[in-house]
Amino acid sequence: APNTSEDRIKKIDNASSMFIYLVSLYGTTGVRGEVSNLAIDFLKRTKELCKNPVYVGFGISEKEHAKRFIENGADGVVVGSAYVKIIEEYGDSEETIKKLEEKARELKEGILEGSK
């Protein structure tokens, strides 16, 4: 979370063998309106301290969220709640698959735009 100390970030990085999962929000996960400057500052601080790739999660649900984190140094984003919301809304249907594919393409576009 954004209030994690530098010492703790370094310890987590040293204990990790693959990547760091950066929790970009306080509290619980879910859909957010926009990416806060606090989250971007935390990402940049974490990237400076870590040797491992940093993946950002919690509240990533829109193309612009993915783009903003990637263009500010994230190595990737982790998406969960956006997909759960689609599944809850459309249930067990062909429309669910279509909507999940659309969301994945939208987020991929944000990642690609952010990496330019």
The model's pLDDT over 46-98, given as tens digits with 9 standing for 90+, comes to 999 999 999 999 889 999 999 999 999 999 999 998 999 999 999 999 999 99
SS3 56: strand
pLDDT of residue 32: 59
Domains of the chain: 6-114 (3.20.20.70)
Distance (Å, rounded) from C-alpha 8 to C-alpha 92?
A: 42
Closest among 114, 57, 109, 99 to 81, alpha carbons compared: 57
Its pTM stands at 0.88
What are 3-36's pLDDT values in tens digits? Answer: 889 999 999 999 999 999 999 876 555 555 788 8
Spatial distance between the Cα atoms of 86 and 61, rounded to a whole number of angstroms: 11
Q: Quick check: 55 and 19 in contact, CB under 8 A?
A: yes
Specify the DSSP class assigned to residue 73: T
